[in-house]
Amino acid sequence: MAKKAAANKSRQHVYFFGDGKADGNRHMKDLLGGKGSGLAEMTNAGLPVPPGFTISTAVCTIYYEQKAKIPAAIDREIEQNLKKLEKAAGATLGSTENPLLVSVRSGAKFSMPGMMDTILNLGLNDQAVEGLKNRTKNGRFAFDSYRRFIQMFGNVVLEIGKDAFEHEFEAVKKSTRAKLDTDLNEKALREVVARYKKVVKSKAGRDFPQDPHEQLKMARDAVFRSWMNARAIEYRRIYDIPDHIGTAVNVQMMVFGNTGDRSGTGVGFTRNPATGKKEFYGEFLINAQGEDVVAGIRTPQPIRELEQVMPKAYAQLRQITTRLEKHYKDVQDFEFTIQDERLFMLQTRSGKRTGHAAVVIATDLVAEKLLKPKEAILLVDPESLNQLLAPGFDPDEWKKIPTATKGLPASPGAASGQVVFTADDAVAWTQQGKQVILVRRETVPDDIHGMFVSQGILTATGGMTSHAAVVGRQMGKPSIVGAGALEIAESAKQFRVNGKTVKEGDYVSFDGLTGEVKLAQVASHPSEILQVLNKTLPAKKSVIYQRFEKLLDWADGVRRLGIRANADQPDQAELAYAFGARGIGLCRTEHMFFGEGRIPIVQRMILADNEADRRKALAELLPLQREDFYGVFKGMHGMPVTIRTIDPPLHEFLPKREDLMVDIAKLEATGQSGPELNEKKRLLQRVEQLHEFNPMLGHRGVRLGITYPEITEMQTRAIIEAACRLNKEGMKVVPEIMIPLVGLVKELRDQKAIVDRVAADVMKETGVKIKYLVGTMIEVPRGAETADQIASEAEFFSFGTNDLTQLTFGFSRDDVGKFLRIYQDKKILEKDPFASIDTEGVGAVVRTGVQLGRKTRKDLKLGICGEHGGDPASIHFFDKVGLDYVSASPYRIPVARLAAAQAALSVKVGD
Ligand code: ADP
Ligand code: MG
Ligand code: MG
């Protein structure tokens, strides 16, 4: 750190802009922040920008390093720039004749709307305000500016609550019978100022500072401090903005929108940020300053109306903002102020937009020849594409209803329906034609049938990778998890939230994009894009679908990574294909075991205490699995399909121990005996036998295949038979059989021998010869560390990054929710490693696996099939580490296609 501080000393810390020339430019966002670099760029372009200077983000770092002190040398640099500014403005800070007023504005590299602070009208004091009045012949304006300044300074710098000022302001308004702020005359405003100063004295225990140089220093430091206020920290956590980059401070000559009716202020966008439509968009207020437009004190006017009020300023604004959009090649979000009909630009930046707008704008800018497709790809945040797939609520209806609680937004979309508490009830109610929301404390794999029919899934516990979240995303079901305020009494079929009781059958609605839960019914409809993919709407009729496809086509032309889907069922495969997946990276065979009528057979297999009985049950499963695989291959149109042999511990397929005990007690209490009771008792015995202290590290994965080779035999047979049949029918499929949880090459060798033997048998029986691959999941660290050995048997690897993360950290993904948030709050971990790959640790294990694997087998096929396969930041990493493909749940395929293209172009979102 000492070294860094020394290096800082030699650098320029303050950057001037004014008189058509600036020290900085658009490429200096790191140092000047977005606002500072925009002001510099506009100045250089000859646009009307009030002069000023930017104190760089490096000074913010120094401020924190030096425990809230600014070195004297930097203070001097600021003073020199202030002199320069006074010269450019022809006014002097604190002067009684011609006082210079400035704003002191925060501005980091990434815009953080409303999170940090800004102070306007700095430089006023009891004398300067009279000077301002004399010079402008406008006492109302002078005192309006002064009261605004005391209020902002008092709030931001002296940390006095806003209410204290509001209270006085309202009192004066009332006593003078003023309706609007603008109705107050000079006398009333003088009264406001006097009262404000008293507020400062009593709340801050000091007089309002009269020395403008002291004001400036205090304001500057307060802006630096606002970098670390709670909401800014939270905002950075959500949007993954690092804490260390700091904010710049912009000191800029004030221009005044509050001098009268020939003045005003406003904000706007060069295109509609909600829809993407090419239209001038924004609002303004006459006789107002800065924050008034967004603060909602008065209702602003649509920007178009400015054309009537001040046609010249309006025309100039249109011309300037059009130019800015062309210059930056992106939609601009701008701020302006008009002082006595003279236009000034105060900010420009690329405008935040919805996913829908992002797609419209990117494709429009290419059509307008402003961008090349390659550049347009970079304008869209891959994550935002999800919004285009989610069902929606009518926003006006939604706003009307109060929010009952908020949970983690696990899977986007609008869901509305009647509450049910069990998966079976969900199915039963749906069969009666009702729409339901499945509310559970948490969901377990055998809730899947209930989840499937529900409009949405709402749970009280669990994180973003909990079962409910993963399955919700895979199904494209709106889901909220970890809504901790829900007190669920599943047995009583009701829950309480914030003092309200919700019973089975009551209506609940939620928005999986924001995490908001409301206790009412609100209508929603499926997204247009899904309607097209499901063939209920012709593509020709959906403009947004066409644009979406166009953008993703461009992405496909650029990306290096292949895109596959995690899909277990034919309809999922079909949908994934429609979304643009070209292969399946993970087909989990056990999900098929939960299918209609299969659980009893699976249970019979598990309950068998000898091989013969087990083989009997397996023989019953064989035709069912064969049909499944046949369907999945077909759904993927002959593209490669990786099928994983059975993975979870067997107890997951049996009823819960507690449930069985209750059933048995009930049967016994009612004096029943006979086959049902005996069956339950036998089940209970087996459940107890299968009990494990740590099932995730227990008898699962390849360990099952080794102890019950007949399961691997049956699954291989089903896969190869299905593939042979399809090949006979003319669809060439090359199945990839994947053995999970391998850590020892001998494990794989054992299983591969079975696969090869059965495959040979089947081909002989059917008389069809096909190609197939045998490979493994690398998800146990030992597997990665010995990947050179494993690759001697495996023809492909697929990194199972969920288990690999779990086993590398030693964090149970089902329990991590209890402490992850605290880890994040304490900055021990920045991100949830189950959502976005930990490149340093888990990533290093992946890299080792890649390098060792390829050492043995140059053409080893490499993929990843964990949840990370759909996460843009992780996709960047997988691209760099040289994998061949990523595999993600069907609904994440568009995100993955776009992120893979951005990775190939090597640009991270937000840069
Ligand atoms: P934010 O980042 O929260 O938008 P800003 O620093 O942009 O904060 O300023 C808040 C408001 O004050 C904006 O409406 C801006 O246009 C206005 N403003 C800032 N500096 C000046 C100035 N020198 N003259 C007039 N208005 C200003
Ligand atoms: Mg602003
Ligand atoms: Mg696994």
Classify residue 795 by burial, with Cβ atoms within 10 Å: 0-12, 13-18, 19+: middle
User: What's the CA gap between 725 and 737, in Å, rounded?
Assistant: 17
pLDDT of the residue at 908: 47
d(CA 706, CA 603): 19
Q: Which among 548, 551, 587 has a CA at the least distance from the CA of 863? A: 587
Q: Rg of the chain over CA atoms, in angstroms?
A: 33
Separation CA 277–CA 357 (nearest Å): 7
- CA-closest candidate to residue 861, choices 839, 897, 887, 888: 887
Going by their DSSP bridges, the two strands 641-644 and 584-588 should be labelled as parallel
CA of residue 703 to ligand 3 center, whole Å: 12
| Identity of residue 117 | D
Query: For residue 659, what are the CA distances in angstroms to 17, 387, 606?
Result: 73, 40, 18
Is 60 a catalytic site residue? no
Calculate how far, in angstroms, residue 739's C-alpha sits from the geometric centre of ligand 3. 10
Ligand nearest to the CA of 738: 3
Please give the distance, rounded to the nearest whole angstrom, from the Cα atom of residue 106 to the centre of ligand 2. 9
- What is the tens place of the pLDDT at every residue in 241-250? 889 999 999 9
Give the separation between CA 140 and CA 337, rounded to whole angstroms.
Answer: 19
Angle between helix 675-690 and helix 599-607 axes, rounded to 10 deg: 70
DSSP state of 107: E
Angle at 507 between CA 504 and CA 512, to 5 degrees: 110
Which atom of ligand 1 is found nearest the CA of 335?
Answer: 16
pLDDT in tens, 105-160: 999 999 877 678 899 999 999 999 999 999 999 999 999 999 999 999 999 999 99
Q: What's the pLDDT at 896?
A: 98
| Closest C-alpha to ligand 1, atom 19 | 103
Counting ligand 1 atoms within 8 A of each CB, the residue from 145, 337, 343, 344 with the most, and so the one to mutate, is: 337
Q: How far apart are CA 379 and CA 910, in angstroms?
A: 9
Nearest in space to 222 (alpha carbons), one of 118, 146, 125, 145 = 118
Q: Which residues of the chain have pLDDT under 50?
A: 1-9, 908-911
Give, for ligand 1, the residue of 93, 105, 334 to mutate: max count of ligand atoms closer than 8 Å to Cβ: 105
Nearest CA to ligand 1 atom 13: 290
283 Cβ neighbours under 8 A, 6+ residues apart: 266, 267, 268, 293, 300, 301, 302, 303
Closest ligand 1 atom to the C-alpha of 50? 23
* Cβ count near 358 (within 10 Å): 24
- Distance of CA 778 from the midpoint of ligand 3 (Å): 9
Q: Which ligand is nearest to the CA of 252?
A: 1
Report the C-alpha dihedral over residues 164, 169, 174, 177, rounded to 10 degrees.
Answer: -170
Parallel/antiparallel/unpaired status of strands 861-864 and 885-888: parallel
Q: How would you list the strands of the sheet with 479-481, edge to edge?
A: 405-406, 516-518, 507-511, 414-420, 436-440, 456-459, 479-481, 408-411
Q: Distance from the CA of 254 to the center of ligand 1, in angstroms?
A: 9
What's the pLDDT score for residue 7? 45
Question: 347 CA distance to ligand 1 centroid (A)?
Answer: 8
> Which of 587, 865, 868, 876 is flagged as catalytic?
865
Tokens at 466, concatenated: 């909990």
Query: And the tokens for 618?
Result: 């397996």
Burial environment of residue 471 by CB neighbours within 10 A (0 to 12, 13 to 18, 19 or more): buried
The length of the chain in residues reads: 911
Residues 518, 450 contacting (CB under 8 angstroms): no
Q: What per-residue confidence (pLDDT) applies to 1? A: 38
Q: What is the number of the ligand closest to the CA of 333?
A: 2
Task: Choose, from 467, 591, 651, 876, the residue flagged as catalytic.
Answer: 467
The CA-based diameter of the chain, rounded to the nearest angstrom, is: 104
Exposure letters 497-513 (e unless 16+ CB within 10 A, then b): beeeebebebbbbbbbb
**What integer pLDDT is reported at residue 910 of this predicted model?**
40
In this structure, the residue with its CA closest to atom 27 of ligand 1 is 290
Give the per-residue pLDDT at 463. Answer: 65
User: Which residues, chain by chain, have CB under 5 Å from ion ligand 3?
Assistant: 779, 800, 803
Instruction: List the alpha helices (DSSP H) in 608-653.
Output: 611-635
Please confirm, yes or no, whether 724 is among the known catalytic residues: no
| 3-state SS assignment for residue 841 | coil
Structure tokens at 908: 């991270």
What's residue 295's pLDDT?
Answer: 56
- H or E segment and range at residue 873: helix 872-881
Pocket of ligand 1 (CB under 6 A): 50, 103, 105, 114, 118, 120, 252-255, 290-291, 335, 337, 346-347
Residues within 5 Å of ion ligand 2, judged at the Cβ atom:
347
Q: In this structure, what token pair is assigned to residue 351?
A: 């405008």
Calpha distance 501→488 (Å, rounded): 10
Q: How far is the CA of 290 from the centre of ligand 1 (A)?
A: 5
List % helix, strand, coil for the chain (3-state, nearest 5): 50, 15, 35
User: Model confidence over 537-587: pLDDT tens digits?
Assistant: 999 999 999 999 999 999 999 999 999 999 999 999 999 999 999 999 999
